[in-house]
Every structure is written in C-alpha cells, then in structure tokens.
Amino acid sequence: MDFKDAVRQFTSNISEVKRCCKAEEGTKHSLILPVIQLLGYNIFDPTEVVPEVDCDIRRNGDKVDYVIQHNGQHLILIECKHWTKDLDYYVSQLRGYFVASDAHLGVLTNGIEYRFYSDLDKPNLMDEEPFLVVELDRLTEEGLNGLEMFCKDVFNEKIIMEKANDMKCLNALREEVRQELAEPSFDLVTLFARRIYGQVPSRAVRERMKPLLAKAIKECVLHTKSQCDVTPAEPTITTGEQKVLSIVQGILKDVVSPERVQLFVGSAYSSIRLDGSQWWPIIKFKFTDYAKWVAVGKYWPQSFHFYCHPKDDKQYIDTPADVANYSKDIRDIVTVMLIGGENQDEERVLWVQEHRPDWCE
C-alpha cells in the first residue's frame, strides 16, 4: 500500500477514533503518532522521533512535544493539542519553540488539522501564516501531496522550503485572483482601459468599465471551465457550514436577497460574504468538532473599509443556531455595505457614528 492509500485508510475511521481520545495524550497516541509513523519515521527510536524536547529560550521548562531529527539535527518541530482545541490559541507557543531551535520547519496539530510553518520571511522566526494546512477529516489531493513531501524516504529540506515558498505565493495569488473575480480592482480596470483606449482612462470611463470587466472575467472563467476535461473538485461544504449560511440568510431576509449572501469555504476558516466579495465580509467562522466560533464584520470609518478579524473578534458558539445571537451585528454590517451613491463613504461614516459608535473605538 502506497503512502496516499495508507493515509486514506487511516482517515476513513478518524471520526470514531477521535471520540475515544479523552485527553491530549490520547490524541498523541491515537491520532498524531500514527501519522508520523505513516510518514516513515520510527516512533520507537528516540534518536529519530524525540519526545519532550527543551526548546524554550526563557528557561521556564517548556518543551515541544516531538522533534523529528537526523544525526542530532532538529528537522521538524511538532506541537500537539487535544483534537477539540482551536489551534489559533497555540501559534505563539510554537513560535517560541521555533526561535529556540535550529529547525526551519514546524507543525502545529490537534490530530485532525495540521498546520505547517517555516521561516520564509525571516530566518529563525516562524512565519505568521502556515504555508500548508491539511485537515484529515476533509482530505484533498493537494493536502495529500503536501503531506507526502514530509515522508522520510523523500525528505529534502531545501526542496520543501522551495515548495513552501511556492505554496505561500500560490495562496497569495489565489486570494488576489478571488478578489479580482469578485470585484475588479482600480489597477485592473485601469490596465484594461489603457489597453483599449490607449491612454489613462477618466474616472467615468473606469466606473463604466468596472461591471463590464467583471462580466467579461466571469464569462471567460465559465468558458474555460466548460473546455476542461477535468473539473477541479469543489470544496466540501459541511452540514455545519450549510446551517450557518442558512441562518445568516434568514437573518438578512428583510435586508438583502439570499442569493447575494454567499458562503466561501477556506482551509483555516470559512466566511459568508455579500456578493462573494472578500471586501465585504459579513462573518468569518469555523464550525468543526474541535473549533466552533464566529466573528462578525465591522466598518472602519478611518480607512473607509470593512474588516473582520477571526482572532480579535472571535466569539465562541456551541451550535450553528448560536449565530442568531449576533443578528443585530449581522444586519448592521450589511446595512452599511448597501449604502451607495456618490458620497457613500461619507454616508457610511455618518451611519456608523450614529448607530454603531463602538466600531470607531
């Protein structure tokens, strides 16, 4: 059985296994160590998979759960949490271990979600964002290919770092493309307008071209999809995500039509956006067995833009129905999004100052 088939077999009953893991040690032994073993490392060899390694520059006695090493050199740090834990709270812990080690690769995991980090931005300082996120309960071919890079028989740190840099760039490009598909930017509209008219376009020309360019992009994308022999798999939408979408659409039924309230499924969290635009986040949320939270969008008058911080504004929930507790916030943010006209920024600021001064703090 090859690596990918072995991982698929292991994950086929992961839902049953995780429910038997009552503590962090159970998660390590039943969910995490088997994956390390599938990668080809000898979990019984303390010179290869080293448990409880001191990686704390403050000398407080903190230890990283596992270190995979070769000839005494740290290759991969692995920090483990119980499968119900939200990993957002433990990124800084792994970052502290990263500084105290000579490793360039780190993994933060709860046995279900695996976040892979490196130090691409600054040597010996862990990047803010992972270059790869793999969720074993929603395994994709891209995730399997990412895991395969870490197999012992093919492990090459230089190649992994190169691919990590490519993945980071690819993730950034995907986000930029999504933004342009949802709402063409000033720069893109200007670029195409200059190509068509041969000069810098006026504001009126750009405003007239913007919806036309958006339509042209969508038509080209749909045409390209229809010409492809293999259609890329759509992200799996869980029951919880579908329930959250339905609840938000219900909250907004008297404010905006349901088809304009759209779900986007991401690797770290999902979001519900107005017209699918990243610039109009209504909520960001995660609803899995190990992470259940919601963050509602706000309008920032100082910079005239909408924002939603999944870390700073996170509110924990028990069920999708709990999203209804934030109905007023959800209606308010969409109300501001729908304010239009030539002076929309000024009108939005006035509305916020009158109705939601807490957004100005």
DSSP string, 59-95: -S--EEEEEEEETTEEEEEEEE--TTS-GGGGHHHHH
Q: Which two tokens stand for residue 237?
A: 């939408």
Q: Is 45 exposed, middle or buried (0-12, 13-18, 19+ CB in 10 A)?
A: exposed
- Owner of token pair 């239009």: 340
CA distance 137 to 31: 12
CA distance 179 to 241: 22
CA distance 15 to 7: 14
- Owner of token pair 């993730």: 171
Query: Reduced to 3 DSSP states, what percent helix, strand and coil does the chain have, rounded to the nearest 5?
Result: 45, 20, 35
Looking at the predicted structure, is the pLDDT value of residue 79 above 90?
yes
Q: Which two tokens stand for residue 111?
A: 């046995």
Looking at the predicted structure, is the pLDDT value of residue 229 above 50?
no
Sequence-separated (6 or more) residues with CB below 8 Å from residue 7:
35, 38, 136, 139, 144, 147
Sequence-separated (6 or more) residues with CB below 8 Å from residue 124:
98, 99, 102
Which of 114-118, 139-143, 232-236 is modeled with the greatest confidence? 114-118
Strand pairing partners for 54? Answer: 63
CA distance 360 to 184: 28
Beta-strand ranges (E) seen in 18-163 are 49-54, 63-70, 73-80, 105-109, 113-118, 132-135
**pLDDT given at position 231:** 47
What is the third-level CATH fold of 3-169?
A: tt1808, chain A (3.90.1570)
CA distance 251 to 335: 12
**pLDDT given at position 223:** 63
- In this structure, what DSSP letter does residue 323 have? G
Q: Which two tokens stand for residue 131?
A: 């270059």
Q: 257 pLDDT band (50/70/90 cuts)?
A: very high
**pLDDT given at position 224:** 61
More confident position, 294 or 188: 294
Looking at the predicted structure, is the pLDDT value of residue 160 above 80?
yes
Domain ranges within the chain, ordered by starting residue: 3-169, 183-224, 236-361
* Percentage of the chain exceeding pLDDT 70: 93
CA distance 113 to 133: 7
Beta-strand ranges (E) seen in 197-279 are 261-265, 270-274
Looking at the predicted structure, is the pLDDT value of residue 61 above 80?
no
Nearest of 19, 236, 39 to residue 139 by alpha carbon: 236
More confident position, 205 or 339: 339
- Mean of pLDDT over the chain: 86
Please state the pTM of the whole predicted model: 0.62
Sequence-separated (6 or more) residues with CB below 8 Å from residue 247:
320, 321, 323, 324
Least confident of 41-45, 60-64, 137-141, 350-354: 60-64
Least confident of 116-130, 223-237, 286-300, 340-354: 223-237
Looking at the predicted structure, is the pLDDT value of residue 38 above 70?
yes
CA count, 13 A, side-chain hemisphere, 39: 21
Amino acid at 74: H
Instruction: Supply φ then ψ for residue 50, to 5 degrees.
Output: -100, 120
Contact by Cβ (8 Å): 273, 298: no
**pLDDT given at position 234:** 54
Strand pairing partners for 63? Answer: 54
* Across 147-171, average pLDDT: 90
Q: 235 pLDDT band (50/70/90 cuts)?
A: low
Q: Residues 191, 196, 202, 205: is their CA dihedral positive or negative?
A: negative
Q: 232 pLDDT band (50/70/90 cuts)?
A: very low
